[in-house]
Structures are given as C-alpha cells and as structure tokens.
C-alpha cells in the first residue's frame, strides 16, 4: 500500500518508513506539496487532523486517492504545566531543536520533578473518514545532553524503558518504545485487521 506521510521532517520520515517497511511512504515533497500547513489546533489530535485534511484535499485536487498518515507529537513536562507540549518544535524559536533543548534544561534547573513524556497522535485519513492512534513513552529530562542519535529532544530524554537517553539508543531500540513507535504499532495492528 502507498501512504502519504504529511511531513517533510527527514527524521520522522525515516522513523516511520522503518516502522512501516512493508508499505511505500511518500513525503509531502514526493507529492509536490510545498505549502506551509498552519497548525493552530489546541491539541495534538487537532493538529494531526489539520495536517491530514489539508494533504488529503491536495491529493483530491490532483485526482489521487492515497490514504494520508499525519501525526503531531511533542514532549510534555508535568512540572512545567505540560510545556512545551504542542509547541515542542517551536519552544525556543522556529524548529531550533538545540535552542529548545537548552531552554528546557534551563527551565528545569531548580526543579526536583524532571519527569516527562512524549505523546504522539497519529491520524490515518482516507476519504472523509479517519482513525486516530495515540502512543506515549515516559522518562526524565537529563541535566545535559547524552548521545547524538535521533532528533529533537532525544538527547535529553532518559527513557524509563531503555534506561538511557533516546540519543544514546539505536533506531531499532527507540522505535520499540517510542511514542511514535507505539502509535504506529496500533495503526499497523489496525491495518492488519482490515
């Protein structure tokens, strides 16, 4: 099956392609979608749905009937009231991951509770129907970066499952326990049942 992933994020595309290796994954670039999608929803689900609908409408205009897979994900820190949350990618400026990691470490400097979780909301959108799948993974925010694998906050997220940062983990290790991996696994199970 060919699925359009509503993203041009290279790290995310690689991760999802590895998780859905039996399917052909097309990126926004692959289908010629060049517009910026305004994610102005209040929740991860809202933003994933905005992406899915926008890309689905674009495909319909081109006469294509591919299903769309969209996700919105982020890091939530309870002691910071759930921040950065839906603003994870823009926490310290527009998609500046290094600055966002630095800002988060700084905000937690005097906090005893450094617990955090990643959440991923995946939408599978076909026609005007959709299914949503949520994944979460829990851990702690480190005081300094460890490892250089992954992207975003991976190097400062100490995974409860792996007992090391996602930045120190292989793709295979991370995909088994990550928020996106868990949400995609629910999607894969759903596809197999169909």
Give per-residue pLDDT as tens, 29-58. 999 999 989 989 999 999 999 999 999 999
Torsions phi, psi for 94 (to 5 deg): -70, 105
The pLDDT of residue 4 is: 96
CATH of the domain at 133: 3.90.950.10
Q: How far apart are CA 69 and CA 177, in angstroms?
A: 20
Q: How far apart are CA 143 and CA 112, in angstroms?
A: 12
Q: How far apart are CA 170 and CA 94, in angstroms?
A: 27
Question: Looking at residue 126, what DSSP letter applies?
Answer: E
- SS3 state at 64: coil
Averaged over 171-192, what is the pLDDT? 91
Which residue range(s) make up the domain with 172? Answer: 2-193
pLDDT tops 80 at residue 94? no
Q: How far apart are CA 126 and CA 61, in angstroms?
A: 14
Residue 157: count other Cβ atoms within 10 Å of its Cβ.
31
Residues contacting residue 87 through CB under 8 Å, at least 6 positions apart: 74
Q: Are 157 and 138 in contact (CB under 8 A)?
A: no
Q: Which of 72, 94, 129, 189 is catalytic?
A: 72
* 94 flagged as catalytic: no
Domain total of the chain: 1
Cα–chain center distance at 160: 18
CA-closest candidate to residue 167, choices 148, 186, 184: 148
pLDDT tops 80 at residue 192? no
pLDDT tops 80 at residue 74? yes
Residues contacting residue 112 through CB under 8 Å, at least 6 positions apart: none
Please indicate whether residue 133 or residue 192 has the higher confidence score (pLDDT): 133
Which alpha helices (H) appear in 34-91, and where do they start and end?
A: 44-61
Residues contacting residue 22 through CB under 8 Å, at least 6 positions apart: none
Tell me if the pTM is above 0.85: yes
Q: How far apart are CA 55 and CA 139, in angstroms?
A: 33
> Residues 136-171: pLDDT tens digits?
999 999 999 999 998 899 999 999 999 999 999 998
């Amino acid at each position: 099956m060919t699925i359009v992933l509503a993203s041009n994020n290279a790290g995310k595309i690689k991760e999802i392609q590895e998780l859905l290796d039996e399917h052909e994954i097309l990126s926004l670039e692959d289908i010629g979608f060049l517009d910026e999608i305004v994610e102005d929803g209040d929740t991860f689900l809202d933003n994933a749905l905005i992406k899915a609908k926008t890309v689905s409408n674009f495909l319909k205009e081109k006469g294509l009937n591919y299903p769309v897979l969209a996700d919105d994900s982020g890091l939530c820190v309870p002691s910071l009231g759930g921040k950065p949350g839906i603003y994870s990618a823009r926490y310290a400026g527009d998609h500046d991951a290094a600055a966002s990691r630095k800002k988060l470490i700084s905000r937690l400097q005097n906090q005893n509770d450094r617990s955090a979780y990643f959440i991923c909301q995946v939408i599978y959108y076909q026609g005007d129907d959709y299914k949503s799948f949520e994944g979460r993974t829990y851990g702690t925010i480190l005081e300094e970066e460890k490892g250089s694998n992954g992207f975003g906050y991976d190097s400062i997220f100490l995974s409860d499952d792996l007992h090391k940062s996602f930045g120190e983990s292989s793709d295979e290790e991370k995909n088994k326990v990550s928020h996106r991996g868990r949400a995609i696994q629910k999607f894969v199970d759903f596809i197999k049942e169909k």
